[in-house]
Structure 1
Amino acid sequence: MKNLLLFFVVAFVCSCGQGKQMLNEETQWQKKQNSDFKDASKSPLKPKDLKAFKGLDFFSFDASFVVQAQLKRTADSNWFKMKTTTDELSKERIYGVLNFELKGQYFQLNVYQGEDLMQTEGFEDYLFLPFLDNTNGSTTYGGGRYIDLRIPKEDIIEVDFNKAYNPYCAYNEKYSCPIVPRVNYLDIEVKAGIKNYEK
């Protein structure tokens, strides 16, 4: 009986310790994402999914997925209509090209600027970085993920793939989400950011 009691005490302490360790690994950005998803006024989740929502599934933070990218601005680039998951089109332009090294490989990604957001207070300097990688369709959403950026004063911009998130249409088909241009494909597994959503 004593041995059995001791087993339960050890198991309880271990499980508490593990939970505490996971909490310490959670970043402020991850906490904010979960907080927004739990808030019915902000959440993209359907009402039935919101009721059962426990939290998003994240990769553990990995500093090697934080890169300093060289931004080559594309002055006076043409506006175009980016396809979305619905019949709507998003008016965008390529603001610039990001050049960076990740896991010993060199990559380029186009970073976009939306016409509507440019005219929205608080988002005048907002940049949109959609990308595809080799985790799509397995551990991450099949349609790729997004990263929010701001126009830097200089020509270096930090890209933190730990802040890669799913488009809202991954949670609810009513949303119209820009489709990631194929040119923004990274031939690497980006094991950072938010994983695929499983109901």
Structure 2
Amino acid sequence: MKTNTILIIGVLTVIVLAVIYTLTGTDSPETYIENVEKERERQYKFIRFNVDSPLTEEQKRTFGELEYYPIDPDYKVRAKMVPLENKKMVELPMTDGTLEKYLQHSYAEFELKGESIKLLLLQSQKDPDRRNFFLAFADATSGEETYGGGRYINLRQDGKNSITIDFNLAYNPYCAYNPDFACPLPPKENILEIPVYAGEKDYKKDEG
């Protein structure tokens, strides 16, 4: 169900985020916050107005705003990439009960709020750019303050053996807005016991 559209939008988002990281790599905290806010505004306009938005026309008419945690620069981390010796395809369960194949590429290892974290980085079969990665994760806020099916971050490798992960840019899958979309669920390796108070909160379907 509409997974091709999700992939195309994801690729475009990676390109946008790559530009953001280029602009914010050495900039002040104020500039960083401003650029994250601009990305959130871009996301809002896409969800609210774009023809490829997951919202139905009825939802668009009553749509209020996307809800986020406050921007916290500590949730932007530099992770070491540890490639898997035996890369293999894995079938992630989708929200509609189907399966979709992703390549298990490497682990991202980093410190977050004093905790040592290791998350599995995946690559889509449909993305020809081997520097792009898909990170689906769930945490202690999932099903409470954030969407129960987890959240996503689109990543682009920006170092020889490292990658930047910004949880302030974590966003909801399309199925959080519309159950007609099928979305991959996070692999078991990416289910965190700690809360991640960053990025997008759950979509309230009755707001507006």
TM-score range, shorter chain: 0.7 to 0.9
The amino acid across from 2:119 in the alignment is: L
Task: Give structure 1 stretches of 5+ with no counterpart.
Answer: 1-23
How far the C-alpha of 1:42 sits from its partner, in A, is 2.6
TM-score under structure 2 normalisation?
A: 0.78
Moved more, 98-107 or 185-194: 185-194
Determine which structure has more spread, i.e. the larger CA radius of gyration: 1
Distance 2:89 2:35 in 1: 41
Q: What SS is found at the alignment partner of 1:116?
A: coil
Match of 2:101 in 1: 91
Q: Deviations over 1:116-154 (max 9, x none)?
A: 123xxxx55321001111111111001110100013341
Residue in structure 2 matching 1:155, options 141, 153, 161:
161
The amino acid across from 2:186 in the alignment is: V
Residue in structure 2 matching 1:35, options 25, 32, 45:
45
Distance 1:57 1:25 in 2: 17
Identical pairs, percent: 35
Match of 2:87 in 1: 77
Q: Deviations over 1:49-98 (max 9, x none)?
A: 11111210111110111111001122551112221112432111111100
Query: CA 1:29–1:125 in 2, change beyond 3 Å: closer, same or farther?
Result: same
Q: How many residues align?
A: 173
Moved more, 62-71 or 33-42: 33-42
Match of 1:110 in 2: 120
Q: Which has the higher contact order (CA 8 A, sep 6+)?
A: 2
Matches within 5 A, 1:104-183: 104-118=114-128, 123-183=129-189
TM-score under structure 1 normalisation?
A: 0.81
Runs (4+) of structure 1 exceeding 4 A deviation are none
- The alignment yields a C-alpha RMSD, in angstroms, of 1.9
Match of 1:48 in 2: 58
Match of 1:63 in 2: 73
